[in-house]
Amino acid sequence: MTPSNDLYCVMGNPVEHSKSPWIHARFAELTGQSLRYEKRHIALDSFVSAVNAFRAEGGRGCNITVPFKFEAAAVATQTSERALLAQASNTLRFEGDAILADNTDGVGLVNDIQRNAGVDLWGQRVLLIGAGGAAAGVLGPLLQAQPGHITVTNRTRSKATELVARHATLALLHNTELITQDICRLEGDFDVIINATASSLQGGSIPVTASVLRPGALAYDMMYGPAAADFMTWAHEHSASPRDGLGMLVEQAAEAFLIWRGVRPPSLQVLAELRASMK
Ligand code: ATR
């Protein structure tokens, strides 16, 4: 057992629903690490002062959730490649005067798809729906998994075009064709489709036609619980294989834990426990 009681937290607004304290407490238990992990509700105009106050308290790192991921990247003194590409950070680590920003959302998604769902992205045709913060956080790591093709589509096409342009060099490097398409005129079908929109939170319908699904396609919603329910049903009704974002949540947390503690926790076990506790 590590003889410290290091302090971590998740900062967000809202944050009451966050499962991160439970996940990190379980990681700590299973890896024999001694740490405290709290939830911090931060006023919308107080993010930077909250980070500084937390550091002054002795905080060692924090996870950042909506709506502060962009500010978190901006507050850092050092930013990882993947946080730079995303222009957003979900994981901060404090080391002396330095604030290190990383983004583990994308690797969390890719690990859940490849390791937990058993779908190898190499050479696959992928559709990424959305071009907001959630989509920006995952496109770089998706490209690193070397799918053959990624289409990014979004209600506001100009945002998809900007996101794709920012990732064009990485796509070339990994030999992945990366394009945008109009969300109302999508052509082709896909092996993996990933919903990174906030449509369900706003009572919206599924933002794409079912013709995008190849039989047996993996239809992944980055949300979980009730927010993912309509997408799961839609995928199931169209003979796709539905998966919600609970695994991504646990896997992004596992990467953050690794960054902070240097130990990889048993994420698959914790995902199974979390899923069982939510039934
Ligand atoms: P997040 O950090 O969750 O990605 P965001 O940056 O506000 O939040 O992005 C929300 C995403 O959901 C965007 O891609 C948004 O599309 P726009 O760029 O056109 O706004 C998408 N979205 C939200 N409501 C939607 C709806 N009803 N139908 C389709 N897409 C929607």
Q: Which of 235, 273, 232 is nearest to 253 (CA)?
A: 273
- Using a 10 angstrom Cβ sphere, with 0-12 exposed, 13-18 middle and 19 or more buried, the burial of residue 167 is buried
Determine, yes or no, domain membership for 138: yes
Asked whether residue 114 falls in the same domain as residue 237, the answer is yes
When divided into structural domains, the chain yields a total of 2
Residue type, 161: T
Q: H/E element holding 247? A: helix 246-261
Backbone angles phi, psi at 105, to 5 degrees: -60, -45
Same-domain check for residues 113 and 223: yes
Distance 275 CA to ligand 1 centre (A): 26
Task: Indicate whether residue 90 lines ligand 1 (CB < 6 A).
Answer: no
Distance from the alpha carbon of residue 177 to the mean position of ligand 1, in angstroms? 24
pTM for this structure? 0.96
Specify whether 140 is located in the same domain as 208: yes
Residues 240 and 110 in one domain: yes
In angstroms, the CA 184 to CA 90 distance is 31
Give yes or no for residue 207 CB within 6 A of ligand 1.
Answer: yes
Q: Where would I find the beta strands (DSSP E) of 3-136?
A: 6-12, 35-41, 59-64, 78-79, 91-95, 98-102, 125-129
Any atom of ligand 1 within 6 Å of the Cβ of 129: no
Q: How far is the CA of 233 from the centre of ligand 1 (A)?
A: 20
Do residues 126 and 89 share a domain? no
Q: Tell me, in angstroms, the distance from the centre of ligand 1 to residue 118's CA.
A: 28
Rg value, the chain, Cα: 18
Q: Does residue 1 sit within a domain?
A: no
Do both 173 and 193 map to the same domain?
Answer: yes
| Cα three-residue angle 229-233-237, rounded to 5 degrees | 175
Does 225 lie in the same domain as 146?
yes
164 within 8 A of 100, measured Cβ to Cβ: no
CATH code, 58:
3.40.50.10860
112 and 197 both lie in a single domain = yes
Q: Domain of residue 13: give its range.
A: 6-103+248-278
Which residue's CA lies nearest to atom 12 of ligand 1?
Answer: 197
Considering only CA atoms, which of 165, 160, 168 is closest in space to residue 184?
160
Residues 6+ apart with CB under 8 A from 253: 20, 23, 24, 27, 63, 104, 108, 267
202 lines ligand 1 (CB under 6 A): yes
Catalytic, 69? Answer yes
Q: Is 229 found in the same domain as 119?
A: yes
Whether cis (ω within 30° of 0) applies to the bond prior to 215 is no
Q: Residue 69 CA: which ligand 1 atom is closest?
A: 2
Verify that 64 and 40 share a domain, yes or no.
Answer: yes
Hey, is 38 helix, strand or coil?
strand
Query: Does ligand 1 lie within 6 Å of residue 137's CB atom?
Result: no
User: Is any ligand 1 atom within 6 A of the Cβ of residue 148?
Assistant: no
Backbone angles phi, psi at 241, to 5 degrees: -105, 105
Adjacency order of strands within the sheet including 213-221: 177-182, 149-154, 125-129, 190-195, 213-221, 241-243
CATH of the domain at 184: 3.40.50.720
Query: What pLDDT tens digit does each residue of the chain (279 aa) get?
Result: 544 689 999 999 999 999 999 999 999 999 999 999 999 999 999 999 999 999 999 999 999 999 999 999 999 999 999 999 999 999 999 999 999 999 999 999 999 999 999 999 999 999 999 999 999 999 999 999 999 999 999 999 999 999 999 999 999 999 999 999 999 999 999 999 999 999 999 888 999 999 999 999 999 999 999 999 999 999 999 999 999 999 999 999 999 999 999 999 999 999 999 999 998
d(CA 113, CA 221): 11
